[in-house]
Amino acid sequence: MVSSAFASGKHIYFMKILFLGDIVGRPGRKTVKALLPALKERHMPDAIIANGENMTHGRGISEKTVKEMSEAGITFFTSGNHIFAHKPGMAKLDDKSFPVIRPANFPPGNPGRGYQVIETGKLQKILVINLMGRVFMKHNYDCPFRKTDEILAEHRGENISAVIVDIHGEATSEKVALGHYLDGKVSAVLGTHTHIPTADATILPEGTAYITDAGMVGVTDSVIGVQKEPVIRGFLTQMPFKYEIADGPSVLAGVLIEIDEKTKKATDIHQIIEHHDTT
């Protein structure tokens, strides 16, 4: 719901956006369905955006899981390096009605799109941009800093109420640097990928909401959502291993952002961490 306030005699309209970290497999989806109704009632967000790259068996997305989570109340999905892991889901990425984007700084010619303008029920327009970090990542991606500049230039002058950036990356320094680089240019820079929520949610000096990593929606007694024993064994032996999604009590982690529609700047960022027993 759009709230309003008076400041210096002028009417200021605020938008609320709920952003969820990486949803990991079936336990993550069950957690969203269990906890999201109460979060929506409590906070009344205008849009709910989630990173969905781990929704299908922990790697990739599918038409079925996107439909399931959309029906649960999520408006739109960002992704990351696992977006092409599930081939049937990958085939849907070129469909502009499919509410999923992949990182914009993948090389040209890849399926899908890296940004999209979405509308809320109040007809507010939100530009959502998805990026990949490059430090410590397996592949050589294009520059996320320059790519964001290109996208912002393309949408300059449009009637957009907010710009949300999901930076899916490993290195905290790269995410922090991007946050400062985009401070004042976008409404929020929100980190994903590590599945571990960081304690640095803040409003940067020029009005951009920032967090290094929003966390995950997945099982707590795990290694970032997957069974811990194979991962530990892999570190001990340096041998390949197959991971399986963990099961048990879970966590829903994300942030709630409040944005002044007129300036597109954030006025508040609130970290959300909710626990749930999925058994």
Terminal-to-terminal C-alpha distance of the chain:
33
What is the band of 122 on the pLDDT scale with cuts at 50, 70, 90? confident
pLDDT in tens, 70-121: 999 999 999 999 998 878 888 899 998 999 999 999 988 899 999 999 998 8
At 9 the pLDDT is 43
Please state, for a pLDDT cut of 70, what percent of the chain lies above it.
95
What contacts 274, CB < 8 A, 6 or more positions away? 35, 39, 251, 252, 253
Across 57-63, average pLDDT: 90
Across 155-166, average pLDDT: 95
* Structure-model confidence comparison of residues 5 and 208, the more confident one: 208
At 12 the pLDDT is 59
Q: What is the span of the domain harbouring residue 75?
A: 3-276
276 is known as an active-site residue? no
Q: How far apart are CA 43 and CA 17, in angstroms?
A: 9
Q: What is the CATH number of the domain that holds 142?
A: 3.60.21.10
Asked if 221 and 250 count as a contact pair (C-beta separation under 8 A), the reply is no
* Structure-model confidence comparison of residues 22 and 107, the more confident one: 22
Could you give the number of structural domains in the chain?
1
- Exactly one of 82, 86, 193, 195 is catalytic; which is it? 82
Please state, for a pLDDT cut of 90, what percent of the chain lies above it.
82
At 209 the pLDDT is 98
Asked if 183 and 204 count as a contact pair (C-beta separation under 8 A), the reply is yes
Q: How far apart are CA 156 and CA 13, in angstroms?
A: 21
At 8 the pLDDT is 42
Q: What average pLDDT is seen over the chain?
A: 92
pTM of the model: 0.93
Across 258-272, average pLDDT: 96
What is the band of 2 on the pLDDT scale with cuts at 50, 70, 90? very low
At 279 the pLDDT is 63
At 22 the pLDDT is 97
